[in-house]
Every structure is written in C-alpha cells, then in structure tokens.
Structure 1
Amino acid sequence: MSEPEKSSPANWERDVLEKLALSAVQEQRRSRHWSILFKTLGFLYLFIVLFLAAGWFRSDGVSLPKAHTALVDLQGVIAADQTSADSVIGSLQGAFEDKKTKGVILRINSPGGSPVQAGQIYDEIKRLRAKYPKTPLYAVVDDICASGGYYVAAGADRIFVDKASIVGSIGVLMNGFGFTEAMQKLGVERRLLTAGENKGFLDPFSPVDPKQQAFARQMLEEIHAQFIGVVREGRGKRLKETPEMFSGLVWSGEKSIQLGLADGLGNVESVARDVIKAEDIVDYTRQDSLVERIAGRLGATMAKTWSPFDKAGVSLR
C-alpha cells in the first residue's frame, strides 16, 4: 500500500488563509446583522417619538379617542414623599391641556395629609378651572375623602360620592408623645442643648412648655381657619353649615350630600357617561420615576431632621 500523501507547506498555508478569510467574512456578516438591528431600533424609537409629539398616542402607548373623559387619581396620604402635590398637579395639567379632554375627573381616596401639599393642589385646580372654563372638573370619592383630601375636593365644580363614603374631618391636628414620667421612673435624664429659646419646640422628652403649647394651638387655629375658608369658597351656598361641620367630624357620603359637602351619588363611570357625556376614559395619572420618589423621600427626611416639628407634624388628618 502506498503511504498517504503528506501536506506540502503550500497546501498548509492555503488552508490557514482560507480559514482566516472565512472567519473574516462571518465576522463581517455578524457585524452587518447587529448594525441592521440597531438601525431598525433607532428608526422605531424615532417613529414612536414623532407619534407622541403629534399627540396621536399618549406616553403609555394608548391611542387617544377624539373626545374623552380625563381621569386623575389622588390615592393615599398627601405628602411630599407619598402622593405629592407635584405629581397630582402634573397629572391635572396634562389632562386639561389635551384639547380632546371633554371633562376631568379627580378620583380621591385619601385620609388627608400635609396642609401645604393639599393647598398647592387646590390652588392649581382653581388656576386650571379659570384657564380652561369650558372643561369641568369633578371630584369622585371612593372610600374616603377626609381632611386634606376634602381640602382638595372643595376646588372641584361638583363632588360625587358613594352613599357609604367617608367625607369631612375639616380640622387640623398636631400629634406627638410625651415620655417625661417614663424617663423619671427609669432614671433617664434628658440633656437638650439649643441655640434659640424655642428650638426644642414641644420636645417629647421634656416637660410641656405652656407658652409653646399656646403658640402651637394658635398656629393650628390659623391653619384651621384657612381650611374653613377654602371649604366655604369652594362650596358656596350649597353648604348647610352646622356647629359640628368644622369640628373634625366625618359623615357618610349620603349625609354629606344633605350637608352640602357633596353634590350627589356617582362613580367614575357614571360621571363620565351621564355628566360629562364622554364614556371613553383616559388615565392621566402621573407615575413618579424612581429618582423622583427617592428625591422626595430624601427631601422629607431632611425636613424632619432639621425641623422642630419632627416629633409633632401638622396634618390635615
């Protein structure tokens, strides 16, 4: 038998060159495929941006009907680090600015919260109603619309409730704790150093200062008077005032209608269908980004750290 032919140096070099050439061609093909993919994604992104800019789609990708009811949710505690004025105001502005919005529903399910945050939302509602007089705004109450939640609702054209909704709590509170007796029993001494006579305002580990307590009550009365003024301004002659109305009590939705705190029974669907006459509902509720939520919580934490009210916050709840 003849021995197999050995590869000559020329054949070996040719094989290596062929393999290198083939690898280069394959790499070029892979690069071309990735280039086509990235270009396609880029064109798709620009296409979506153009559609959003033209107003054909909302930012969540939902096609807008020609005429619709705009929905904005106000859920939970009204506070800078929870349901903030910025997020609610941004949602309301987007709802009113859309030319296809026939009416706006502010759905409220809130026990209240910060008087500042609630006041900012109320003021913006008044501004938007004046700027867009042909676009009505209705508040629709779910389970509860109390204190700061009702402060906001008072700015609406009309308020609709469920017969079992909880409505009212028109009052202001400042809560906290006192630990002086417990500290005495435990033999704990409080060492508080301040620069400023009232910097340790209502410190829970120190005895109550009558002057500071009186000052706090006066401040609460001022904020309460502001709250009452907002309710009277918003509800007008519809309000049937009683001695208990501004005492902090709450009522059922059915009773709130009798008192003039609300206008009638209804939910989001019935108000959109029967009052606004636009059954298509588009949700404009703005969702804060992760960065915004972290910034809000950080700001609230810093405020508590440097505020004398960190143990006794003022609240419309």
Structure 2
Amino acid sequence: MRRLLNPILPKSWRSTDVVVPVIRLHGAIMAGGSQFRPSLSLASTAGLIEKAFSFPGPTVAISINSPGGSPVQSRLIYKRIRDLAAEKNKQVLVFVEDIAASGGYMIAVAGDEIIADPSSIVGSIGVISGTFGFTDLIKKIGVERRVHTAGRNKSSMDPFQPEKKEDVERLETLMLEVHETFIDLVRERRAAKLADDPDLFTGLFWSGKKGQELGLVDSLGDMRGVLKQRFGPKTQLRLVTQPRGLFSRFGLFGSSQSLTAPAVAAAGVDALFDAAEERALWSRFGL
C-alpha cells in the first residue's frame, strides 16, 4: 500500500525497496497449444509481457526454461520483448534455468544480459524438421492411400507416400533461410561478445559455463542472488501471472467450443500429441 501512495507521501515515508517484475517463460514453444496443455506462444505470453513492462522501475527479469519449438513464435516473443524494452526504456535481464536452446535461446537474446547457471544448457542455434514415413506400414496392414490435389506440389512431404528428392531439397532450402534469420538475430544482439568458433551456429549446445566462454552467456548466477546483489538486499521479486480459475485453466468457460463428449475427447487427443511433441523436444537435451 505504501508503494502505491509513494507519490503523495513525504519523502522520508516513502518505500525505497526495489521491486523487479519477473516473467517465467517455461515450456516448449508452439503455436496454439491445447486446452489441456498450454504452450509458449505470443498469444499465451503477450499479456504477461505487457503487464511486466507496465511496472515502475528500470528492470524486467525473465526466467527461461525452454528446449525450443516454433521459430516463428520464438521470434514474435523476442520482438515483443524488445519492442516494449525500447518503448518503456527498460533493461531486460534474462536468467536461464535448465535450458534455453534453439527457440528458447532466440527468446533469451532479447535480454540485455543473459545469466545462466553453470550447468544450464544453452545454444542449439539451428533448425530441425522431423516427421515419419508410413509407406511400408500401410502396405502391411492393407491400407490404400488416396490423395487428390490441385497443384502438383500440394502433397509434398506426405508421410504416407515415398519421399521425393525434390521435396527434401525444397525443405532444406527453407530451413537454411530460417537458420540464416536465426543467425542474423543472434549476431545482431550479441555482436562482439561472440567467440570466433566454427561450431557456434551448427546446432551444437553447451553448458552455461562453456556458453559464457563462447559469448552466448554474459555471466553465471541465479536470479535472486544477482538481483539482490545489484539492487540491494531488500529487492523484491514480483512474479507476474495471469489470473486463471479452475475452470478457465482447462478452457471450460470462455471458449467457443461446446462442452460435448466428442469435444472433450478431441481436446484430450490433442493434448496427447502436444505432450509427445514436447517430450521429444526436451529429450534431445537429455531432460
């Protein structure tokens, strides 16, 4: 209460404690997500980011723990953070917990400083595309695949048809373009901090300690320790959250989707696929 009254209180009565808003960006980065398993995207994080930058004070702290995911959503979140930092004239401190890899690291470079634990995983500056081929399986179980398209490339990379060389080449070209965008963004933000290492942009990842040597990380430490050291022992860390009740958490109210048994079942199936995709992202880093 005293902090709210600070502008009208005598100077000697005003609270001098520093309050630093904290955003937690934890999880895989995917567009949409599901009702039962939300993911990181601009839609799911924009409110938190806006709220954090509305706090008084010069600093916003962001905790990141993400194995990556969608490059588009990663860049959109990155851009929203940088746009608000410039608009509000605030310093952004990013703290890496277990991992900030691939798209997670892309978001991390939105920070003016990146602080990691020595055992954190950072990097993986690359692009990956994974799918499955089911041509032999459908033959064994006696399924006939019927595909009709308008446009000769509309069925490219269909997992139920044999892989075509020209489709793979087209995908690789696309991935190289996305990779270049990622590299340019890291170089722009980290500039002279980056080491001259040929493996830096190959998709490899490193510990936080090695990441500091390579210039991917500025320093080692934890959020509470670093913030209290910089702003004083009375510094308060204020976690920014979105109010969510029991029902809204599962999308049961405020949704255009009917609460029918098929709708609930479909949401459950979506959640299973999302969970499998997220598990695959984490497992690449042994987590």
What range is the shorter-chain TM-score in?
0.7 to 0.9
Structure 1 residue 196: deviation in Å?
A: 2.0
| Match for residue 90 of structure 1 among 47, 58, 65 | 47
Find out whether 1:248 has 2:203 as its counterpart: yes
Per-residue CA deviations over 1:81-114 (Å, capped at 9, x if unaligned) read: 1122123222122111122x34111000110111
Letter in 1 for 2:21: A
Structure 1 residue 187: deviation in Å?
A: 4.5
| Closer/same/farther in 2, CA of residues 172 and 268 from structure 1, 3 Å limit | same
Q: CA RMSD in A?
A: 3.1
User: Contact 1:170–1:228 at 8 Å: present in 2 too?
Assistant: yes
Q: Name the CA distance, whole Å, in 1 between partners of 2:256 and 2:176.
A: 28
2:153 alignment counterpart? 198
Q: Name the CA distance, whole Å, in 2 between partners of 1:236 and 1:76.
A: 27
2:18 alignment counterpart? 67
Find out whether 1:136 has 2:136 as its counterpart: no
Per-residue CA deviations over 1:48-95 (Å, capped at 9, x if unaligned) read: xxx9xx968xxxxxxx98630110000011123112212322212211
Structure 1 residue 171: deviation in Å?
A: 0.7
| Closer/same/farther in 2, CA of residues 188 and 87 from structure 1, 3 Å limit | closer
| Closer/same/farther in 2, CA of residues 114 and 67 from structure 1, 3 Å limit | same
TM-score (norm 1): 0.69
SS, match of residue 206 in structure 2: strand
In structure 1, the gaps of 5 or more residues are 1-50, 57-63, 306-311
Greater gyration radius: 1
2:67 alignment counterpart? 111
Per-residue CA deviations over 1:249-270 (Å, capped at 9, x if unaligned) read: 1100100000000011111101
1:285 alignment counterpart? 241
SS, match of residue 174 in structure 1: coil
SS, match of residue 152 in structure 2: coil
- Identical-residue share of aligned pairs (%): 37
**Which structure shows the higher helix fraction?**
1
Letter in 2 for 1:157: D
Find out whether 1:267 has 2:222 as its counterpart: yes
TM-score (norm 2): 0.76
| Match for residue 175 of structure 1 among 130, 133, 147 | 130
Q: Name the CA distance, whole Å, in 1 between partners of 2:249 and 2:185.
A: 30
Letter in 2 for 1:76: G
Q: Name the CA distance, whole Å, in 1 between partners of 2:244 and 2:157.
A: 34
| Closer/same/farther in 2, CA of residues 291 and 55 from structure 1, 3 Å limit | farther
In structure 2, the gaps of 5 or more residues are 6-14, 34-38, 258-262, 271-276
| Match for residue 164 of structure 1 among 98, 102, 119 | 119
Q: Name the CA distance, whole Å, in 1 between partners of 2:156 and 2:196.
A: 35
| Closer/same/farther in 2, CA of residues 235 and 276 from structure 1, 3 Å limit | farther
Q: Name the CA distance, whole Å, in 2 between partners of 1:296 and 1:104.
A: 34
